[in-house]
Amino acid sequence: MKNDETMKRLFTVILSVLFLAACQNGQRAEQKAIRQESDSLLAAYHHSDSIYALCGRIDTAAFNAFIVKAMAFAEKHPDDTLAPGMLYRAGVGSMILAKSADRLGDVEARARNAKRALAIFNQFQEQYPDLDQAKLCYWQRAIVYDDILGDWRSAESEYRDFINLFPNDSLTPVFQQYLTLLGKTESQLEEELAIGR
């Protein structure tokens, strides 16, 4: 009887060890899959961004594909260390597409991508408020409002929110300077530069 009890305990211990080992192997495989997915996404982003930076061309389909996949990655793996960067890059990609559409006169695509960029930066701040990039979301939204949508009052609000929340931040003087430039045309800015010389 005592041998049966010992055998049962031993069997239970062995099963527990095997179960834990299987769980760890599953976790390692999942982490490897996440890394492969993120590496693929980063490569796609860098490819699209480098074409934009070097040639000034936009591969709209590639940027859109990246944005959709990056947002899905961040939603699927919100606690992964790479998720915030993916989400932020999706916002920047949306800004690039909105700016490109603006240059091409595609009002609908400009509005759609600008709205998506604003939503992504809002989501970023909600999900990752303690990261440094969360502060930059004010700036990114201000750029969308001012440079893409021509809504300098909303841009002003973003800059003022940043200045009020982070008065001692190194970007605060820069944003205070931006406030003096909002709403001015290129010719007005050129005039000010000529007077300042």
- Exposed / middle / buried, residue 182 (Cβ in 10 Å: 0-12, 13-18, 19+): middle
The answer as to whether 91 is a domain residue is yes
Q: Is residue 87 part of a domain?
A: yes
Q: How many domains does the chain have?
A: 1
Q: Minimal CA–CA distance to 70: which of 116, 30, 27, 111?
A: 116
Cβ neighbours around 162 below 10 Å, total: 24
Task: Give mean pLDDT, residues 144-159.
Answer: 93
- The pLDDT-based confidence of 182 (bands split at 50, 70, 90) is confident
Q: State residue 5's pLDDT score.
A: 72
- Distance from C-alpha of 1 to C-alpha of 96, rounded to nearest angstrom: 75
Structural domain including 145 reads 34-152
In the predicted structure, residue 140 carries a pLDDT above the cut 60: yes
Least confident window among 13-27, 78-92, 138-152, 177-191: 13-27
| Residue 111 maps to a domain | yes
User: What's the pLDDT at 181?
Assistant: 87
pLDDT of 142 over the 90 cut: yes
- Is 115 part of a structural domain of the chain? yes
In a domain, 197, yes or no: no
Please name which of 122, 100, 98, 124 lies closest in space to residue 112, comparing C-alpha atoms: 98
Residue 121 forms part of a structural domain: yes
The answer to whether position 63 is within a domain reads yes
Does residue 2 register a pLDDT over 70?
no
How would residue 22 be classed by pLDDT, with cut points 50, 70 and 90? low
**Domain-located, residue 93:** yes
**Residues 62-108: tens digit of each pLDDT:** 889 889 988 998 999 899 888 999 899 999 999 999 998 988 899 99
Mean pLDDT of 1-17: 61
